[in-house]
Amino acid sequence: MTQSASPPPITATTATASASGDEFDIRLVSGALGAEVRGVDLNTVTDAQFHRIHELMLEHLVLFFPGQESLTPEAHVALGRRFGDVEVHPFLPKLEEHPEITLIESDKGGKADEWHIDVSFSPNPPIASILHLVHCPPSGGDTMWSNQYLAYDTLSATFKEMLKGLTAVHVLKIPPVVEMSAEHPVVRVHPVTGRRSLYVTRMWTSHIPQLTRQESDAVLQHLFEHSEQPRFTCRHRWDAHTVALWDNRATQHVAINDYQEYRRGQRVTVPGDLPTSDTPRKPDYERSGDERYYPRRINARVGY
C-alpha cells in the first residue's frame, strides 16, 4: 500500500487559518497532539469551516472548542453527520428526544478511567467522537489523549516486524445485558493519512489469537504500557461547554477519576470503516492436544 503524505505540522505556538472570511485561532496544547480552536460557532459550521476542522483533526488528532454554551443537540448531531452516519450506542443512556447523543454522567457509571478507544469492540469502530462537556467539577476530571501514530513510530524495527499480520480481539462483556466482540489489526493503517498506528487498548483488547496466551499477555502488556507513555499524550482541563473532537482511529484516551462532584458529557460518535492493515493476516496459534486457551483479560470471552 502506498502511504499518502501526512499534513504538514503547524510549527508556531499560535496560528490562524482563514475559513470563509472567518479566522480560526489555533493554539497547540502539547508537543504530541492536540489543538485548541477558537473563532467558530459549532451551531453554524459552514462547508469551508468544516473542511478546515477536518484538516486540523487529521493533523492534531484531538481538537478543543471552548465557549460553545449555545451548542444545541441538533447542531451537535449535525456536526457528527458531516463525518458520516451517527451511532446510536448499543447500551449507554441517551439524551431524551436525541438518541444519537450518549449521556456520560459520573453518578451513573460514566467514569471511563482506563485507557481505551471508543467502541473498538464493534466491527466498524467510530471515525470520530464529539464530546460536549456540559457540567464539570470545580477541579479534577481531566481527560488525556495518546497519539498512537507516535506510539507505533517509536517501536524498534524488529518489534514492528514481529507485529506485522497480527490481529487483536476486542471484547465488551456486561452479562447478562450485552456481549460484543470484533477482531482488528494490531497495527492499522489510517484510511485518509495512510499512516500506521497501534490499535490495542487496555479496556477492551483481550488477546492476540496468533500467539500463545502467555505470549499474547506479554505483548499486549508491553504495548499498553508503551502507548500510554506521557510523551505521547496531552491532558485537557475542562471548562463547561468546551467541545472535544478526536480522531478515534489514531488515538486512545482516559478520563482521570480524581473527583467526587457531578460531571456530565454529551457525546456523538460516527461509526467508521473496517480497520485494515497493509500486511496479510497471520494464521491463528494452533493448540496442541487438549491445551486450553483462556485469555486472562477480564473482558475476554471464556474459552474463546
Residues 101, 105, 109, 114, Cα dihedral to 10°: 80
Q: Is 170 an annotated catalytic residue? A: no
Residue 91, CA distances (Å) to 23, 73, 104, 251, 297 in order: 39, 20, 12, 23, 22
Marked catalytic residue, from 116, 132, 236, 249: 116
Q: Is 267 an annotated catalytic residue? A: yes
Q: Are 166 and 158 in contact (CB under 8 A)?
A: no
Distance CA 144, CA 115 (A): 9
Report the b/e string of 143-154 with b at 16+ CB within 10 A: bbbbbbbbbbee
Q: Is 51 an annotated catalytic residue? A: no
Distance CA 122, CA 55 (A): 26
Q: Is 116 an annotated catalytic residue? A: yes
Marked catalytic residue, from 118, 184, 188, 213: 118
Q: Return phi, psi of residue 23, to 5°.
A: -105, 130
Q: Return phi, psi of residue 69, to 5°.
A: -60, -30
Marked catalytic residue, from 184, 195, 253, 263: 253
DSSP E strands, 54-136:
62-65, 94-95, 98-105, 126-135
Strand 143-147: give its sheet, edge to edge.
233-236, 143-147, 251-255
Catalytic residue IDs? 116, 118, 253, 267
